[in-house]
Amino acid sequence: MRKLFFILFLSTTLVASFAQTGTKNAKVIADRAADHFMIQIGTSMWSGAPDSISNYIKGFNKSANVYFMYDKRFKSNPKFSIGIGLGVGTSNIFFKKMEVKVGGTKNILGFIRTDTGNNYNKYKLSTAFLEVPLEFRFTSDPSNPNKAIKAAIGLKFGTMINAHTKGVDLQNAAGTKLNENTVKESSKLYFSGTRIAATARVGYGLFSIFGAYDLTSMFKVGVAPDVKLIQIGLCISGL
């Protein structure tokens, strides 16, 4: 809860700062708000994971990103703008018959196969980052953004705020449920503390398709394979 209040405080401060600058230096197109929420729902994938790991990752892995964005139009051409914001980006990677020992004390992150013994029916690795997205944007009709073609490319910069695993419903190798306990393990020990991702999206009106590709490795050098996160999905935004 304290992290949530901290994020909301930073968002408010950032937006207030940009709003003050925009009021002094430029006009915003009439009937158009300069600040918006941007919500992204999609799937996460790992690029660079060896077969010994990727073969144990389930097909669809949920992701969700929420940002509060401020939009700064170009005076010379209002179809183009720069968007900057603050928010949280999350990803979930689900495994079948494999555990990830994020709380270990060794120099190598353990990806432990459990297909010949007890395993969890549902098991996931979740990460969350406090992020600052930066976009160069195009809108075909800036005076009527809800009926305009939109496109954007950019970068987002993040710092990790949480990494944990969660296992639910322990079962034996034959699939017989042993208990309904939930086991969680939280640690950022093996993860890169910061990340930079390239982003792009294109759409019409409030809806667009987005993609993001990490330029930095998910894990620290030498403790795990050089894995990079990919996200693809639906974006909802007024800008």
pLDDT of residue 145: 85
Query: Which two tokens mark 77?
Result: 């051409």
- d(CA 56, CA 223) in angstroms, rounded, equals 19
Question: Contact 123/102 with Cβ under 8 angstroms?
Answer: no
Helices (H), the chain: 2-25, 51-54
Q: Where are the beta strands (DSSP E) in the chain?
A: 35-47, 62-73, 80-95, 98-101, 110-113, 119-139, 149-171, 182-186, 194-204, 207-214, 228-237
pLDDT of residue 33: 58
Q: Max alpha carbon distance in the chain (Å)?
A: 68
Task: Give me the residue spans of the domains in the chain.
Answer: 2-237
- Enter the DSSP assignment of 150: E
Three-state DSSP class for 7?
A: helix
Q: pTM for the full model? A: 0.84
- d(CA 204, CA 197) in angstroms, rounded, equals 23
pLDDT of residue 29: 47
pLDDT of residue 239: 78
At 54, the amino acid letter reads S
pLDDT of residue 32: 54
Residuewise pLDDT in 10s, the chain (239 residues): 444 444 444 444 544 444 444 444 444 444 455 668 999 999 999 999 999 999 999 988 999 999 999 999 999 999 999 999 999 999 999 999 999 999 877 789 999 999 899 999 999 999 999 999 999 999 999 888 889 999 999 999 999 999 999 999 999 988 889 998 899 999 999 999 999 999 999 999 999 999 999 999 999 999 999 999 999 999 999 87
- d(CA 12, CA 4) in angstroms, rounded, equals 12
Dihedral (CA of 182, 183, 185, 191) sign: negative
Query: Which two tokens mark 137?
Result: 């944007």
pLDDT of residue 34: 67
- Enter the DSSP assignment of 76: S
